[in-house]
């Protein structure tokens, strides 16, 4: 029982926020970071262009790098803070700056995609930012909680940059710019919807946290102004929270439909002499699944069987679209099977390429691996005065030419007695031969008493 009690005390002390929160400093930081003027505006535009390039070439690392330097979160936290402390002026200022942020982002992305010479034959990362899911909502909500906690805690860390990456505010704006440049209005509204869903739930997390941490409420000069402001804030909170809940409900329903529809399509392949070879799920007007069949034409009995099977997966018949890529004539079964196998071969080929890439990386890692234990034994055997060996890889950077780096192996040894210069040179030469690396740097230090 004593151990359980101690663990309980340890757990409560670990999650206790008392003494770690500074609401005044958090409010000051949020107010200072809502503006997009001067350097902030240019940094945002540059970050948007970098992210657009990353999405253009399907490079996730480039997009992450852009998100690290973008100042996107300020106005969003400002809106949530304004709601939480009943500060209408702060909400107005944050809203204006959020609007400026969106305009700068769309303009920079639009101009990039208008002039880019890079091919857009397979923009999968761009298209992935046009369809929000329940996972986007959860990421935005909990990312918002992490962000406001980082703002409130006394000892600031690196959480804020992680929140910027996790909530992924930039990619939807870049996709919206791409959609404008390509004239695809459907993608444009889908990307903006994803962006505002993220903003909405980050604001919601901020509002709830501000209320929980009991930020200092705005004081009013007279009672009438205070009442009027509180009514406005209450209305805004309702207008703010109701769409959030409605969006979450819709996305949960869409997510459940996708899970059920996918299970139905994969587990129910054969219907008589017809086969489901592909399917497409769409949420444009209402959630539907389109089934693509190959084989003999579907008769009424077969269609009824399909609808009955779908009901077991909670899919209504009006949500199913049946597409027959067949005629009433006999279908060449060899061609049908060949088409299925061709598709499987493409998927297997893609996986094989990924496996080969990972194997190559593993071989490179193994080739560069230093035999630490064996090397230490050999050094200790040849040099008894050496008591400790530290080995690592590193990069040397010239102070005069900071953009130039050289890879090297750094070896530090502790000795019980000083090694002569000749002995040190001999050891260094031996290390170069043993490690097959010319750039070896040796340091010697006396053993610690």
Structural domain spans, the chain:
21-218, 372-446
pLDDT, the chain, mean: 76
pLDDT at 147: 80
Indicate whether 250 pLDDT > 60. yes
- The predicted model gives 107-112 an average pLDDT of 91
CATH topology of domain 372-446: GMP Synthetase; Chain A, domain 3 (3.30.300)
- The predicted model gives 68-80 an average pLDDT of 80
Task: Give CA–CA dist 218/226, Å, rounded.
Answer: 9
> Which position has the higher pLDDT, 223 or 115?
115
Summarised one tens digit per residue, pLDDT across range 251-275 is 788 888 888 888 888 776 777 677 7
CA distances to 30, 349, 350, 433, 436 from 363, in Å: 48, 21, 20, 22, 17
Radius of gyration for the chain, computed over Cα atoms and rounded to the nearest angstrom: 31
pLDDT at 329: 46
Indicate whether 248 pLDDT > 50. yes
Task: Give CA–CA dist 111/105, Å, rounded.
Answer: 10
Indicate whether 398 pLDDT > 70. no
- The predicted model gives 131-154 an average pLDDT of 77
Of the listed ranges 133-142, 281-290, 316-325, the one predicted with least confidence: 133-142
Q: How large is the angle between the packed helices 134-152 and 74-85, nearest 10 degrees?
A: 80
Contacts of 204 (CB under 8 A, 6+ apart): 80, 141, 144, 240, 241, 244
pLDDT classification of 107: cutoffs 50, 70, 90 = very high
Contact 273, 296 (CB under 8 A): yes
Indicate whether 35 pLDDT > 70. yes
pLDDT at 6: 64
Contacts of 46 (CB under 8 A, 6+ apart): 69, 108
Summarised one tens digit per residue, pLDDT across range 188-228 is 887 888 888 788 888 888 888 888 888 888 776 666 666 67
Contact 393, 410 (CB under 8 A): yes
Contact 216, 86 (CB under 8 A): no
Task: Give CA–CA dist 47/136, Å, rounded.
Answer: 21
Indicate whether 156 pLDDT > 70. no
Contacts of 53 (CB under 8 A, 6+ apart): 59, 62, 112, 116, 118
The model carries a pTM of 0.56
pLDDT at 390: 82
Indicate whether 102 pLDDT > 70. yes
Among 75-79, 333-337, 414-418, the range of highest mean pLDDT: 75-79
pLDDT at 265: 80
pLDDT at 328: 43
> Which position has the higher pLDDT, 384 or 334?
384
Range 241-249 contact pairs with CB under 8 angstroms and sequence separation of 24 or more:
241/204, 243/200, 244/200, 244/201, 244/204, 247/132, 247/137, 247/197, 247/200, 248/134, 248/137
Indicate whether 97 pLDDT > 70. yes
Task: Give CA–CA dist 199/114, Å, rounded.
Answer: 27
Residue 128, both tokens: 């992935």
Indicate whether 124 pLDDT > 70. no
Instruction: State the Cα angle at 87 between 83 and 93, rounded to 5°.
Output: 90
CA distances to 77, 135, 222, 301 from 244, in Å: 16, 14, 33, 44
Indicate whether 100 pLDDT > 70. yes
The CATH code of domain 21-218 reads 1.20.1080
CA distances to 10, 16, 286 from 1, in Å: 14, 22, 56
Task: Give CA–CA dist 388/412, Å, rounded.
Answer: 8
Summarised one tens digit per residue, pLDDT across range 307-345 is 888 888 888 888 888 887 654 444 455 455 556 666 676
The CA-based dihedral angle spanning residues 249, 251, 252, 254, taken in that order and rounded to the nearest 10 degrees? 120
């Amino acid at each position: 029982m004593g151990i359980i009690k101690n663990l309980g005390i340890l757990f409560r002390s670990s999650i206790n926020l008392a003494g770690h929160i500074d609401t005044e400093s958090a409010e000051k930081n949020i107010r200072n970071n809502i503006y997009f003027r001067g350097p902030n505006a240019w940094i945002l535009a540059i970050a948007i262009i970098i992210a657009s390039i990353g999405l253009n070439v399907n490079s996730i690392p480039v997009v992450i790098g852009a998100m690290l330097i973008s100042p996107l979160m300020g106005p969003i936290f400002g809106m949530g803070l304004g709601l939480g402390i009943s500060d209408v002026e702060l909400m107005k200022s944050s809203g204006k700056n959020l609007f400026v942020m969106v305009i700068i982002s769309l303009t920079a992305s639009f101009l990039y995609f208008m002039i880019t010479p890079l091919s857009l034959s397979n923009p999968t990362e761009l298209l992935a930012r046009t369809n929000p899911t329940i996972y986007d909502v959860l990421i935005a909500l909990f990312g918002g909680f992490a962000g406001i906690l980082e703002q409130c805690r006394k000892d600031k860390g690196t959480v804020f940059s992680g929140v910027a990456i996790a909530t992924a505010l930039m990619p939807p704006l870049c996709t919206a710019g791409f959609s404008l440049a390509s004239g695809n209005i459907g993608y444009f509204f889908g990307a903006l919807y994803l962006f505002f869903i993220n903003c909405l739930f980050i604001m919601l997390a901020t509002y709830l946290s501000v209320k929980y941490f009991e930020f200092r409420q705005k004081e009013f000069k007279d009672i009438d102004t205070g009442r009027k402001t509180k009514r406005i804030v209450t209305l805004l909170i309702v207008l703010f929270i109701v769409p959030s809940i409605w969006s979450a409900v819709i996305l949960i329903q869409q997510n459940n439909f996708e899970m059920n529809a996918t299970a139905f399509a994969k587990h129910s392949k054969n219907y008589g002499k017809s086969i489901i070879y592909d399917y497409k799920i769409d949420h444009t007007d209402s959630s539907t699944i389109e089934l693509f069949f190959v084989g003999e034409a579907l008769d009424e009995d077969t269609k009824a069987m399909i609808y009955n099977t779908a009901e077991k997966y909670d899919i209504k018949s009006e949500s199913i679209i049946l597409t027959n890529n067949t005629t009433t004539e006999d279908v060449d079964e060899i061609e049908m099977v060949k088409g299925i196998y061709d598709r499987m071969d493409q998927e297997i080929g893609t996986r094989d390429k990924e496996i080969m890439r990972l194997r190559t990386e593993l071989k490179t890692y193994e080739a560069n691996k230093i035999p630490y234990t064996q090397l230490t034994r050999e050094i200790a055997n040849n040099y008894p005065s050496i008591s400790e060996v530290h080995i690592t890889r590193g990069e040397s950077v010239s102070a005069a030419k900071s953009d130039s780096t050289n890879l090297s192996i750094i070896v530090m040894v502790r000795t019980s007695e000083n090694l002569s210069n000749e002995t040190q040179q001999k050891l260094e030469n031996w290390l170069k031969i043993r490690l097959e690396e010319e750039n070896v740097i040796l340091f010697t230090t006396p053993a610690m008493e």
